[in-house]
Structure 1
Amino acid sequence: MRNRFIAPVKGRLIAISLLGATLAATTPSVQAQQSYQLPDLGSTSATVTTSDEYHLGRAWLRQFRAQTEQWQDPIAQTYVRSVLAKLVPYSGVDARLVVTLVDSRLLNAFAVPGGVVGVNAGLFASAPDEDEFASVLAHELGHLAQRHYARRMERVEETQLPTMAAMLAGMIIAAGGGGSAGIATMMGSQAAFIQDQLAYSRRFEQEADRVGLNAMAKAGYDPQAMPEMFRALQKLAALQGGNPPEFLLTHPVTESRISDTQARADQLPSPAHRDDPSYAMIRARALLMLNQDMPSQAMTELEQDDPPEAAVRYLEALNDARQTRYVAALDKLDALARDYPDLSMIPATAAQIAYDANHREDALARARRILRLSPSYYPAQWVQAEALLQTQPAQAFDVLRDMSEQYPEDPNVFGLLAEAAGRSGRDAWGQLARAEQLQLEGRIDTAIRQLDSAEQVAKESGDYAMASRIEQRRKDFIGYRETMQNF
């Protein structure tokens, strides 16, 4: 399942870049307005506004995609969004969040100004249950809610947005596993300053803990999981000696902090036990991806934490599929789906496996059954688009056009849209969609060259309306590139 949709791209590191598939549902008119927006980074005020944060974060994420290996897993990503959706109403965070998953075993999660939340696959491996996983996300939302980046910047004399840009550039390396040494190498004389800015103050950590604990309790998670997770991190740091988890480089855990968090958690209610294997199933996906060269190790790691029996069956099905035992995998998943009819991830997994087995009609039928009940369930939308692309590319184009409006900053959607357009004879559309994919991945120069080609194709075919549209996008892309170079 590793990087199954689009291979990672390495490129030149720029201070910031952009992305943004929104977490909160928006109306079609708003989606259409968002579809072609690029961030305006022109402000140089010492005061960092929420608008500045929003655009900076999405600009940063574009370049982050170009610099790190992404874990492209629609089922896992949709699950993380669902956890955030439970926490956001009680966190005081603007709901315009975007999630990025990182293909890394390092234990890390991070939040970037403007609502970008990143999760390494390694966090799933290290958090044995959903409450502990949610505690990390709740803490990160606490930092966003309290606007700790902006507040820290405002305390630095004569700070301007480029200083924040440099800090976020350092986070590209830190989040990807480079740590402080990578930051120092990249930023030279500013390294000490940036290193200091990456580490939150004790007060900021306590504020994020408090906000996170309250959000957890109100969202139905167990606040006791936060001090438990901190103890586990502290223990892991002691075992690793000079190489503590990446999360601790920017979120240091002390005994006093654990005690304070425990005292606060003790004052909040703990919910009754939930009989839901969803998290354990997502964890199984992460463990299999991280141990793809030795799948048996994934099962060993999963079983160490006494998982629900359903998660073990789910991982067995995933292993069957990896070994091309597709019939056995589908039989297991269909049985699981009967036992847990409300978990869309199970039939969605079966639909993806049916597609991988070249059973395209079966995959399409399975995906459409899910979509009749959950029309916006992204993993099923994706399988439907993949299957249609192979059999009915014109229909796939229509489906993917709608998806590009629903997910205007998802490069995977635009990549598939480019294929559908090409296969259905819409060459200019195909090249335009490819250009959108490239700019969302942080490859703005290549995207501009792609638009040049698209415009020529449109003019040669006499489609001057499309040529005009492409020319406008070219101006947008060039303006964005110049802004980034000046920034």
Structure 2
Amino acid sequence: GSVAAGIQAQLHYSRQDERQADQLGFKYASNAGFRPTGLIDALKIIQKNSWMRSNSVPPYMLTHPTGPERIANLESMAKSFIPRRNDVVEALRRDFPVFKTIVQAKSQDPDELVQLYKQELRAGKEVALAHLGLGIAYKRKSEYSLSARHLEAALKDMPVSLPIWLELGEDYQLIGENRKAIALFEKVLEKRPGDARAALLLANSYENIGEYEKAISLLKRLTFSTKATPQVYYQLGMSYGRLKKLAQAHYYFGMYFKKLGRLQKARFHFIEAKRLSKGDTALQRKIARESKGIL
């Protein structure tokens, strides 16, 4: 009797747990911006395939609420469900086609992609996305002017797309149109101040037109980011070198090689930075801290 009662209690818990799982699934789907009634569709597919009626199903699985019962519970919840606007979800849905095109254009064979996107242009299918894909594919083929032309066409249809601003700005930089590139990178950073790629590209363009102080300001901010790459330190070394500030230049080259794990080269630059930084106690402290175990 006590064993049977224990089993009955376990079965009751399983059924309650399954109902709770459906309730939570309904809630999570709604909060994530999905249509929660899709859970009902999923259960109907399971029921249609009759896996719950199969003789091979373990008996303990049959203690869970069956398809019709669970569908009825979910349909009851759906009656009181009021869809709410979710701006984050709406933005993700709007941007997903752009994201998908960028991933495709950067990962598949560029020659095949050029043919694919040209076909889409001829068919008048998703013209802006086809131009975006062509722009990235041509950039990968080092055909930067052609790339810029297609990205400009994409931008006409999607004038506030940050990914297109970045891609087109990079093209402008590569063909020497740094002023145009700067305008686009600055627009990205106005909208997304923490965008490390935009900040690094903007610093590149400032270096290209000889505005090293502006480049240094951006690059130094990037060193505080967890996303800072060794390239940031290399560019700082180059910018300080162009300004004839050799102690700082050697310090950042030392940091660059340290980040790469090339300690002999890092040691050389830290020694030079230490030699040239006499009188600059703040820089000497930084050199001592960063060169610990190397000098």
How high is the TM-score relative to the length of structure 1? 0.38
Give percent identity, aligned residues only.
Answer: 19
Does the Cα contact within 8 Å between 1:397 and 1:424 map onto a contact in 2? no
Matches within 5 A, 1:132-211: none
User: What runs of 5+ residues in structure 2 fail to find an aligned partner?
Assistant: 1-26, 39-66, 79-88, 119-124
Which has the bigger relative contact order, CA under 8 A and spacing at least 6?
1
Alpha-carbon shift at residue 393 of structure 1 (Å): 1.4
Q: 2:158 matched to which residue of 1?
A: 340
Alpha-carbon shift at residue 311 of structure 1 (Å): 3.6
Deviations 1:279-314 (A, max 9, x none): 2233134325xx4xxx213456889xxx96544321
From 336, 348, 351, the equivalent of 2:169 is 351
Query: Is 1:287 matched with 2:107?
Result: yes
From 259, 273, 284, the equivalent of 1:454 is 273
- After superposition, the Cα gap between the structure-2 partners of 1:302 and 1:330, relative to the gap in structure 1 and judged at 3 Å, is closer
Q: Which stretch of structure 1 is more off in the superposition, 356-365 or 449-458?
A: 449-458
Does the Cα contact within 8 Å between 1:216 and 1:222 map onto a contact in 2? yes
Q: Distance in 2 between matches of 1:408 and 1:312?
A: 31
Q: Distance in 2 between matches of 1:390 and 1:346?
A: 21
- After superposition, the Cα gap between the structure-2 partners of 1:452 and 1:332, relative to the gap in structure 1 and judged at 3 Å, is same
Paired letter, 2:249: G
- After superposition, the Cα gap between the structure-2 partners of 1:279 and 1:422, relative to the gap in structure 1 and judged at 3 Å, is same
Q: 1:59 matched to which residue of 2?
A: none
Q: 2:136 matched to which residue of 1?
A: 318
Alpha-carbon shift at residue 346 of structure 1 (Å): 0.3
Alpha-carbon shift at residue 388 of structure 1 (Å): 0.6
Q: 2:231 matched to which residue of 1?
A: 412
- After superposition, the Cα gap between the structure-2 partners of 1:222 and 1:384, relative to the gap in structure 1 and judged at 3 Å, is farther
Matches within 5 A, 1:78-93: none
User: What runs of 5+ residues in structure 1 fail to find an aligned partner?
Assistant: 1-213, 225-262, 480-487
Matches within 5 A, 1:73-112: none
Q: Distance in 1 between matches of 2:245 and 2:29?
A: 48
Does the Cα contact within 8 Å between 1:280 and 1:308 map onto a contact in 2? no
For the aligned residues, what is the CA RMSD? 4.2
Q: 2:10 matched to which residue of 1?
A: none
Paired letter, 1:354: Y
Query: Is 1:463 matched with 2:292?
Result: no
More helix by share: 2
2:223 aligns to what SS in structure 1?
helix
Query: Is 1:430 matched with 2:263?
Result: no
Q: 2:199 matched to which residue of 1?
A: 381
Paired letter, 2:255: E
Deviations 1:248-305 (A, max 9, x none): xxxxxxxxxxxxxxx9xx99x9x999343232233134325xx4xxx213456889xx
- After superposition, the Cα gap between the structure-2 partners of 1:358 and 1:451, relative to the gap in structure 1 and judged at 3 Å, is same
- After superposition, the Cα gap between the structure-2 partners of 1:217 and 1:282, relative to the gap in structure 1 and judged at 3 Å, is farther
Query: Is 1:442 matched with 2:257?
Result: no
- After superposition, the Cα gap between the structure-2 partners of 1:405 and 1:215, relative to the gap in structure 1 and judged at 3 Å, is farther
Does the Cα contact within 8 Å between 1:299 and 1:312 map onto a contact in 2? no
Q: 2:289 matched to which residue of 1?
A: 472
- After superposition, the Cα gap between the structure-2 partners of 1:316 and 1:302, relative to the gap in structure 1 and judged at 3 Å, is closer
Alpha-carbon shift at residue 338 of structure 1 (Å): 3.3
From 390, 396, 403, the equivalent of 2:215 is 396
Deviations 1:120-170 (A, max 9, x none): xxxxxxxxxxxxxxxxxxxxxxxxxxxxxxxxxxxxxxxxxxxxxxxxxxx
Alpha-carbon shift at residue 220 of structure 1 (Å): 4.7
Q: Distance in 2 between matches of 1:275 and 1:395?
A: 34
How high is the TM-score relative to the length of structure 2? 0.59
Does the Cα contact within 8 Å between 2:145 and 2:175 map onto a contact in 1? no
Q: Distance in 2 between matches of 1:323 and 1:408?
A: 27
Q: Distance in 2 between matches of 1:299 and 1:219?
A: 35
Q: Distance in 2 between matches of 1:438 and 1:423?
A: 19
Aligned length: 219
1:363 aligns to what SS in structure 2?
helix
Higher gyration radius (CA): 2
